[in-house]
Structure 1
Amino acid sequence: MAELAGPAAARLILASSSPTRLNTLRAAGLVVRAEAPGVDEDEIRRSCRAEGGDAATAAAMLAKLKAVKIGRRHPDALVIGADQMLDCNGVWFEKPGDRDHARAHLMALRGRTHELISAVSVAENGQQVWHHVARARLTMRGFSDAFLDAYLDALGSDALGTVGAYHIERLGIQLFSRIEGDHSTILGLPLLPLLDFLRGHDAVLR
């Protein structure tokens, strides 16, 4: 898909270790490499919460920090940072540490509506030059305990890799009765506004 890339495509770096985000960008035709930013996400979330920030503030802050940190290492690059938060009535859910935590998260979300807040930031010369925050609303159905255990058995350790312990692009779709929002936002990277910005910087053909 390199024919879709613009003249500045070689400047793109994704400040993330997330294979889902990298695959999302590459599937859209972007020429991009990834570099892990090494940000202490848990500490930043705790600090944001202690200062009264909401989930959108925390996601935007983390996306910016990731992009800026890698941007300082590569001042000539356009660096993309992203973060996602799951908020259910003011309770923030993070990636589960083990199967028991994954089960507890899914039981807490069962039959309820929650928000996925996805933030994306772009840094150039070590400074944020653009950002966007998008939301999706998802309602889990009242699935049985038997389904829950079978789901966790089938997904295995992959359940630990996402907030909410679900992979919406795979078996996780069976957890839901209603989904409102852009698919790329649910995957953790609001793609349409990002592509629009990148076209203006010649990283994608107009």
Structure 2
Amino acid sequence: MSTLILASTSVYRRALLERLRIPFQCLAPHTDESPLAHETPSALAIRLAQAKAQAIANMHPQAWVIGSDQVVDCQGQLLGKPGNHERAVAQLQSMRGQVVKFHTAVCVIAPHFCEVRNVITEVLFKNLSDATIESYLRAEEPYDCAGSAKSEGLGISLLEYIRSDDPTALVGLPLITTLQLLKQSGFPLPLQ
């Protein structure tokens, strides 16, 4: 039986991967997520997804390992998880009325296989009032989400549109892409 490991402790990524009904375990990769000087959002997401997968693959070389990371690009400014209310307010204020790009990279490492892809999701935020931002943050407290909004929850009301080839990418793990990479790597998938 093939062992599948998600190199993440994210409850969001875990819930997404559970949708596939494939047994897996989650392990924390303990990687430094600091951006390098002059690193683009795409390059950062790709590097971190691969670093997370590689950290776990080094400990479990016979397993299939999935690593993923998301970086938010708001008019050239990188946004991460706000961590608290004040930073979440600032993030949502900076994104109001803006098209924001979410770079969600996924890497699959398996014996004799390593591939990484980046899925870009474009999101147009409404021109949000400070009162709307405050009400939303008090209701949902999305302080552990890059970009300070949960599109799978009440945060959807803050958006004009979401454009992506892989709809789960915005939540943190592009499942269509993940399945493509698992299939390429030879992992036995259900319904295949």
Matches within 5 A, 1:73-84: 73-84=59-70
1:167 aligns with 2:150: yes
1:85 aligns with 2:101: no
1:161 partner SS: coil
Stretches of 4+ aligned residues off by more than 2 angstroms: none
Matches within 5 A, 1:113-152: 113-125=99-111, 129-152=114-137
Does the 8 Å contact 1:95/1:160 carry over to 2? yes
Name the TM-score, length of structure 1 as normaliser. Answer: 0.87
1:104 partner SS: helix
1:27 corresponds to: 19
* Structure 1 unaligned blocks of 5 or more: 1-6
**1:27 and 1:97 mapped to 2: Cα distance?**
27
1:168 partner SS: coil
Does the 8 Å contact 2:124/2:159 carry over to 1? yes
2:29 partner SS: coil
Does the 8 Å contact 1:66/1:81 carry over to 2? yes
Out of 106-115 and 193-202, give the one that drifted further: 193-202
Higher helix share: 1
| CA drift at 1:195 | 0.7
* Structure 2 unaligned blocks of 5 or more: none
| CA drift at 1:175 | 0.6
| CA drift at 1:128 | 5.8
Cα distance per residue 1:84-107 (max 9 Å; x no partner): 000012110011131011001000
What is the aligned-residue identity percentage? Answer: 32
1:68 aligns with 2:54: yes
**1:97 and 1:131 mapped to 2: Cα distance?**
27
**1:128 and 1:100 mapped to 2: Cα distance?**
42
Name the TM-score, length of structure 2 as normaliser. Answer: 0.93
Cα distance per residue 1:16-61 (max 9 Å; x no partner): 010111110111222111000011112xx1x2xx1x3211101000
1:111 partner SS: coil
2:29 corresponds to: 37
1:187 aligns with 2:157: no
**2:46 and 2:122 mapped to 1: Cα distance?**
18
1:203 corresponds to: 188
Does the 8 Å contact 1:83/1:118 carry over to 2? yes
1:80 partner SS: strand
**2:188 and 2:170 mapped to 1: Cα distance?**
24
**1:128 and 1:53 mapped to 2: Cα distance?**
26
1:57 aligns with 2:20: no
Q: Which amino acid aligns with 1:106?
A: L
| CA drift at 1:76 | 0.9
